Amino acid sequence: MVANPRNPADPADGVNRHNFNSSSTQQTFALVYVNRSLGGDCRIGGTATLGMAGSNLNDGTAMRLDGTQISECAQIIQYPANVLHARVTAHETGHTFGLGHPIRSAPYVDAPPLVLPPDTYTRAIDVNTIYVWYGEYLYLGNIYRSEVVVDGVFDLVNNRADREDILAQWAYFRPGGYDAAIYQIDLRNPVDTQANRILVQIQERYIMDWTGRFTLQALTDWHFNPTMLPRMCVKSTCP
Ligand SMILES: [Zn+2]
């Protein structure tokens, strides 16, 4: 049930402004959360979509949360379901308030993959392959990557916007411990040899991380990064 819906037949279409009668020119909107199936599968590494903000502005767009899948994923990864529900809800709300995921820039280094310096990336000549360092961690005997290239791989021309141009990515060399590994990424299209950096989503262990660290399981473990809070914008138009 949603008050003031854009489309009474489907609350997922969001809401109209709720200050019709106010003298302010600033349009304001309620936050809307709807429960919707979003696809993917928790058992296939990282493919499940648990939530979708739909907008990076608080403009009445409904945030979609896949409650069933959140519960299923929590069970599969042995994680408290209530914490996962809360974290996904807070994360999508952060997107609605204009926040993105934390990222780092990984510069290109002309080096053989096996001796790639930390936090950098390199590429194979004449093939659609890059190598990049990812952070990792151990949880319940499995190794999980804490980092991933940004969907859209901004600087890698011809490889864009979604995972479909990333054919595979896997740990190519793990020099010791479980904190980091060099990953090989096979791309659909030729790599742009002008790409002097790629963008990697990182884990700061805060709510806006691209994916939450499984080892943090208490509600009190989860906060917004204090440096992001001033960038939150609750208005429908933001600087
Ligand atoms: Zn997100």
pLDDT digits (tens, 9 = 90+) for 11-22: 788 888 876 677
For residue 50, how far is its CA from the centre of ligand 1 (angstroms)? 10
| Predicted pLDDT at 46 | 65
**Which tokens go with 26?**
């600033």
Residue-wise pLDDT tens digits, 42-88: 887 667 899 999 999 999 999 999 999 999 999 999 999 999 999 99
The answer to whether residues 95 and 116 belong to one domain is no
Share of residues in the chain with pLDDT > 70 (%)? 91
The answer to whether residues 181 and 220 belong to one domain is no
For residue 99, how far is its CA from the centre of ligand 1 (angstroms)? 9
**Which tokens go with 186?**
């096979």
Q: Is 156 exposed, middle or buried (0-12, 13-18, 19+ CB in 10 A)?
A: buried
3-state SS assignment for residue 212: coil
| Predicted pLDDT at 5 | 85
Determine, yes or no, domain membership for 208: no
| Predicted pLDDT at 152 | 58
Residue-wise pLDDT tens digits, 108-117: 999 999 999 9
Report how far apart, in Å, the C-alpha atoms of 149 and of each of 31, 106, 154, 185, 219 are.
30, 9, 9, 9, 28
Q: Would you say residue 191 has pLDDT above 80? A: no
- With CA atoms as reference, report the closest residue to 41 among 81, 72, 64, 63: 72
For residue 21, how far is its CA from the centre of ligand 1 (angstroms)? 34
Q: What is the mean pLDDT of the chain?
A: 89
Domain of residue 70, residue span = 11-100+213-231
For residue 109, how far is its CA from the centre of ligand 1 (angstroms)? 29
CA 160, 151, 96, 10 torsion: positive or negative? positive
The answer to whether residues 134 and 65 belong to one domain is no
Q: What is the pTM of this model?
A: 0.91
Whole-number Å distance between alpha carbons of 62 and 12 = 5
For residue 238, how far is its CA from the centre of ligand 1 (angstroms)? 19
Length of the chain: 239
Contacts 24+ apart (CB under 8 A), 20-26: 26/235, 26/236, 26/237
The answer to whether residues 121 and 193 belong to one domain is yes
Q: What is the domain count for the chain?
A: 2
The answer to whether residues 155 and 109 belong to one domain is yes
CA 209, 213, 218, 220 torsion: positive or negative? negative
Determine, yes or no, domain membership for 3: no
For residue 213, how far is its CA from the centre of ligand 1 (angstroms)? 14
Residue type, 220: T
Alpha-helix runs per DSSP H in the chain? 67-76, 81-96
For residue 94, how far is its CA from the centre of ligand 1 (angstroms)? 8
Pick from 77-81, 191-195, 228-232: least confident: 191-195
The answer to whether residues 131 and 67 belong to one domain is no
Share of residues in the chain with pLDDT > 90 (%)? 62
Mean pLDDT of 205-212: 96
